[in-house]
Structure 1
Amino acid sequence: MATQHTRIEEHPDIMSMRARYAAASAKPSLQAAEGLTLLTGLYLAISPWVVGFHTNAPLRVSNLVTGLALAVLALGFGSAYERTHGMGWVPAAIGVWTIIAPWVISGAADGTGPVVSNVITGAVAIVLGLMTAAMGRMNRDRSASADAR
C-alpha cells in the first residue's frame, strides 16, 4: 500500500496559515523582538573590536560568525516570519553558545571584558529567541483552538 504525500503548497489551509503568521509578524512586540535581535547580532559580530579582545582570534571568529548568523535570522524573521517561525529557538541556542564560548574557546584568558560582553549579549539573545519562539507558538495554539471550534 503506497502512501501519497502532498506538497505543502497543496495543503487546503495554506493560505489561512500564512495569513495567521503574517498577522503575528505585524504585531509591534514581534517587530521589536526582530529589530532587537538584529541589533544584538550586529553587536555580537563587532564586539571583539568594541570591547578590545580582537587579538583572541578564535573568540573573535566565533563572535563574528554567530553574530552574523543571528542578524541574518532576524532579517528572515522580519521578512518571512510565516516561513521562518519554526526557527525561533535558534537565537536562544546562539545565545547559550555566546555565553559559554569564552570558556570553551579560550578559557576566559582575555579577562572580564569578553566574558561580561558575551554573557550579557548571550542573555539578551536567549530572551529574544524565546520571545520569537513564543510568538509563533501562541499563534499556532490560537489557530488550533480556532480550528477546533
Structure 2
Amino acid sequence: MARRPDAFGTRERRVRVLGGHDVALLNGPVFLVGLFYAVSPWVLGFAAAHHDLAVHDLVVGCAVCLLTVGFTVAPERMTGLSAALGVTGLWMVFSPWAVVRHPGRAAAVDGVVLGVLALVLGLLSTALVRRANRLP
C-alpha cells in the first residue's frame, strides 16, 4: 500500500471511516434483527400456514445477517452498502403482503416491526457513514 501514489489518502480515509466507526455499534442489533427475521416463521408459528413467506423470511434474514458479517469483517469495503440495509428494511415492512395475500397477524406484525427496526438501523448506519466520510 505504501507504493501507491495515493496511499496516504487511502490510509487516511480508512482511519477516518474506521476510527469514527460508530456504525460498528449497530452490527449487533442488525445481526439480531436478521437472525430473528430468519427464524420468526417457526418461532411465531406461521411457517406451516405460509410456507412461501417462511422461505422468504429465511432468505432475507440470512441476507441481513450476511450484510452484518460483511460490515464487521470488512467495514471499509462495505460502507457503501449501509443504505442497502435500509432498503431491505423497507422491503421487510411490505413483503408479508407482497408474498402472500393474507399473511395473518403474526406474520404482518413480524414483518412490520422487524422491517421498521432494520429501516431505522439502516438509515442510522448510512448517516453515520456519511458523517465519517465528510470529516476532514
Tell me the residue number matched to 1:18.
Answer: 14
Percentage of identical aligned residues: 31
Q: 2:34 aligns with which of 37, 41, 52?
A: 41
Equivalences for residues 85-96 of structure 1 within 5 A: 85-96=79-90
What is the one-letter code of the residue matched to 2:92? T
Q: CA RMSD in A?
A: 1.5
Q: 1:68 aligns with which of 58, 62, 69?
A: 62
Tell me the residue number matched to 1:4.
Answer: none
Instruction: Compute the TM-score of the two structures, normalised by the length of structure 1.
Output: 0.82
1:129 match: secondary structure? helix
CA–CA distance in structure 2, aligned partners of residues 11 and 92 of structure 1:
35
Q: CA, structure 1 residues 11+131, in 2 after alignment: closer, same or farther (shift >3 Å)?
A: farther
Alpha-carbon offset, residue 10 of structure 1: 3.7
Tell me the residue number matched to 2:134.
Answer: 141
2:118 matches 1:125: yes
What is the one-letter code of the residue matched to 1:81? P
What is the one-letter code of the residue matched to 1:57? H
Q: 2:78 aligns with which of 78, 81, 84?
A: 84
CA–CA distance in structure 2, aligned partners of residues 59 and 10 of structure 1:
49
Q: CA, structure 1 residues 57+34, in 2 after alignment: closer, same or farther (shift >3 Å)?
A: same
Alpha-carbon offset, residue 11 of structure 1: 5.7
What is the one-letter code of the residue matched to 1:89? A
1:38 match: secondary structure? helix
Alpha-carbon offset, residue 19 of structure 1: 1.1
- Say how many residue pairs are matched: 131
Q: CA, structure 1 residues 140+50, in 2 after alignment: closer, same or farther (shift >3 Å)?
A: same
- 1:24-70 deviations in Å (ceiling 9; x for gaps): 23x3xx23311100000000000100111112121111110110010
2:124 match: secondary structure? helix
- Give the gaps of 5 or more residues in structure 1: 1-8
